[in-house]
């Protein structure tokens, strides 16, 4: 009987299992290992594409945001061809295809239950990594910027920021008390680890995303957000408190460095307005545009300008920037429409959509002070979470057709 059962498993079904299993591996390792998470989503993509080729029909596929995403890819190709170092830019061009994970999730994660299961795995694994990050703080002291198993504390902070917001969304729109029993402690640990990264841009992103969560849950809860921030500020260690208060200090050295970099980026845009200098060439050209009184050390290698908008404008010009902004505006428009159609009783769906919206807003705020779009781990997870409203939309459309 067991042999007969295995014979009934077709190749498309096997490929579907491989693709979905690889997505769960991605969710489990997104905050742990860049090499494993990249291998997982590439395997999922290969299995998905192989299944489509085997079956030979694509009528059920959906590609939301295809026009703005396609336009951005074309603008990036143009920037590569016209850049100051086309072969160097060609190597960096591969990063635009990270958006494929967005389409993979939209088309392979077909139910809210499956999406919620993936998010649960992501939260569980990230909470474990947050605990590990906190042990780093205990071992190294409160001045140490924890990074988990990531190579950079900024990457770790960006990932924790995104997962923290998804966790809070699961708690606010809980459908069972069991969610609260693990969700609340997980949110606390993730936030604590994020604080110990000492990464102010991610803190700002968390606050902005939290405002989205509170506003879409109950507007009056927005009033509690400043109070919660003040209470956290009172209990955190002094180095974290000083770091947070320095956000308002424009004379602080890192603030001055960022302002100087942004001015240099605008000078680059002035000279290369339409298609930019090309990707991966900032380190080569930055010294030519360094301000004479720049606080940035002359021996420091500047590969990016610590701002999504300024960096993309400098690399891909105004055409590339316009297409990039189009992606996010189109996402916000469609995600908001999907949210507005949900019934208040559809709490699991609302948790997915609202968590996605909050995460993308947080990513954009974080990207005002860091080049988050150039961080492979962070942008891949952002695309993953961006797909959730469209998963909800497809699931509801499928239920509607099934009952019609």
Domain membership flag for residue 124: yes
Based on the fold, state whether residues 303 and 347 are members of the same structural domain. yes
Quick one: 347 and 359 in the same domain?
yes
d(CA 139, CA 145): 12
User: Based on the domain organization, do 32 and 104 belong to the same domain?
Assistant: no
364 inside domain: yes
SS3 string, 110-153, reads CCHHHHHHHHHHHHHHHHHHHHHHHHHHHHHCCCCCCCCCCCCH
- Distance of CA 242 to CAs 125, 171, 195, Å? 30, 30, 12
The helix or strand, by DSSP H or E, that contains position 100, with its residue range, turns out to be helix 100-108
pLDDT, position 403 = 53
**Residue 262 belongs to a domain:** no
Residue 401 — very low, low, confident or very high, per pLDDT cuts 50/70/90?
Answer: low
| Residues 329, 183 share a domain | yes
Residue 2 banded pLDDT, cuts 50, 70, 90: very low
Look at residue 259 and tell me if it is in a domain: no
The per-residue pLDDT for range 239-292, each reduced to its tens digit, is: 999 999 898 887 889 999 999 999 999 999 999 999 999 999 999 999 999 999
Q: Evaluate whether 268 touches 277 at the Cβ level (below 8 Å).
A: yes
Distance CA 359, CA 370 (A): 16
| pLDDT exceeds 60 at position 319 | yes
* Nearby residues of 371 by Cβ (< 8 Å), 6 or more positions away: 304, 305, 306, 307, 308, 311
pLDDT at 7 (0 to 100): 56
Query: For the chain, how far is it from start to end, CA to CA, in angstroms?
Result: 37
Tens digit of each residue's pLDDT (9 = 90 or more) over 74-117: 999 999 999 999 999 999 999 999 999 999 999 999 999 999 99
CA–CA dist 243, 200 (Å, integer): 7
Q: Is residue 360 part of a domain?
A: yes
Residue in 309, 301, 363, 310 with CA at minimum distance from that of residue 332: 363
Please indicate, yes or no, whether residues 244 and 157 belong to a single structural domain of this protein: yes
| Nearest alpha-carbon partner for 192 in 159, 232, 231, 150 | 232
At 393, give phi and psi (nearest 5°). -60, -45
Structure tokens at 304: 């990016």
80 in the same domain as 44: no
Q: Is residue 261 part of a domain?
A: no
Q: How many domains does the chain have?
A: 2
CA–CA separation, 221 and 201 (whole Å): 23
13 and 137, same domain (yes or no): no
Same domain, 319 and 353: yes
Q: Domain limits at 34?
A: 1-61
pTM of the model: 0.95
- Establish if 356 belongs to a structural domain: yes
Q: What sign results for the dihedral spanned by CA atoms 146, 148, 151, 154? A: negative
- Predicted confidence at residue 299, as pLDDT, reads 86
**SS3 state of residue 273:** coil
* 84 Cβ neighbours under 8 A, 6+ residues apart: 277, 278, 281, 284, 285
Cα dist. 251→42, 171, 254, 256, 369 in Å? 44, 39, 9, 6, 15
* DSSP letters spanning 347-391: HHHHHHHHHHHHHHHHHHHHTTTS-GGG-HHHHHHHHHHHTHHHH
Whole-angstrom distance, CA of residue 89 vs CA of residue 102 = 23
Is residue 193 in a domain?
Answer: yes
Positive or negative: CA dihedral 342, 340, 390, 154: negative
Regarding whether 56 and 73 lie in a shared domain, the answer is no
Do 167 and 227 have their domain in common? yes
**Distance in angstroms (rounded) separating the CA atoms of residues 178 and 241:** 33
Instruction: Report the distance separating Cα 120 and Cα 123, nearest Å.
Output: 5
Q: Which of these three, 61, 76, 94, is where a domain ends?
A: 61
CA distance 160 to 187: 10
- Residue 206 in this model has a pLDDT that exceeds 90: yes
Question: Of the residues 61, 85, 107, which one is the last residue of a structural domain?
Answer: 61
Residue with tokens 């997870």: 381
At 399 the pLDDT is 65
pLDDT in tens, 40-79: 999 999 999 999 999 887 778 999 999 999 999 999 999 9
Residues 329 and 204 in one domain: yes
The enclosing H or E element of 222 equals none
Which two structure tokens, joined as six digits, stand for 234? 């009172």
- Whether the CA torsion 204, 193, 185, 22 is positive or negative: it is positive
Q: For residue 342, what are its two tokens?
A: 């949900």
Selection from 51, 66, 53, 155 nearest residue 103 by Cα: 66
Q: How far is CA 156 from CA 44, 57, 169, 351, 368, in A?
A: 24, 40, 20, 23, 17
Residues 3 and 75 in one domain: no
Tell me the mean pLDDT in the region 298-324. 96
């Amino acid at each position: 009987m067991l042999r007969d059962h295995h014979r009934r498993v077709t190749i498309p079904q096997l490929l579907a299992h491989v693709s979905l299993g690889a997505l769960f591996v991605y969710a489990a390792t997104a905050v742990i290992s860049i090499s494993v998470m990249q291998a997982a989503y590439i395997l999922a993509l290969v299995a998905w594409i192989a299944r489509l080729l085997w079956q030979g029909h694509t009528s059920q596929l959906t590609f939301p945001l295809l026009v703005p995403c396609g336009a951005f890819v074309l603008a990036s190709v143009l920037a590569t061809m016209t850049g100051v170092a086309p072969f160097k830019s060609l190597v960096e061009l591969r990063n635009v295809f990270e958006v494929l994970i967005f389409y993979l999730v939209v088309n392979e994660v077909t139910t809210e239950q499956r999406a919620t299961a993936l998010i649960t795995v992501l939260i569980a694994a990230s909470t474990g990594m947050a605990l590990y990050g906190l042990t780093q703080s205990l071992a190294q002291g409160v001045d140490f910027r924890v990074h988990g198993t990531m190579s950079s504390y900024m990457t770790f902070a960006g990932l924790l920021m995104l997962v923290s917001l998804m966790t809070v969304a699961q708690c606010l729109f809980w459908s069972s008390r069991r969610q609260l029993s693990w969700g609340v402690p997980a949110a606390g640990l993730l936030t604590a680890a994020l604080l110990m990264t000492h990464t102010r841009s991610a803190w700002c992103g968390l606050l902005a995303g939290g405002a989205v969560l509170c506003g879409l849950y109950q507007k009056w809860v927005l009033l509690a957000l400043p109070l919660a921030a003040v209470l956290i500020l009172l209990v955190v260690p002094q180095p974290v408190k000083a770091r947070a208060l320095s956000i308002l200090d424009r004379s602080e050295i890192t603030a001055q460095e960022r302002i100087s970099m942004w001015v240099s980026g605008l000078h680059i845009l002035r000279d290369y307005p339409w298609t930019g200098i090309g990707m991966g060439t900032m380190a080569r050209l930055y010294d030519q545009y360094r301000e004479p009184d720049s606080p940035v050390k002359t021996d420091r290698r500047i590969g990016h300008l610590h701002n999504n908008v300024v960096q993309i404008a400098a690399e891909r010009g105004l055409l590339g920037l316009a297409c990039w902004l189009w992606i996010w505006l189109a996402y916000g428009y469609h995600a908001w429409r999907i949210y507005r159609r949900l019934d208040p009783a559809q709490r699991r769906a609302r948790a997915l959509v609202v968590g996605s919206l909050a995460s993308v807003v947080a990513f954009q705020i974080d990207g005002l002070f860091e080049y988050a779009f150039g961080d492979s781990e962070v942008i891949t997870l952002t695309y993953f979470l961006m797909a959730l409203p469209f998963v909800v939309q497809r699931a509801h459309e499928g239920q509607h057709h099934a009952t019609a």
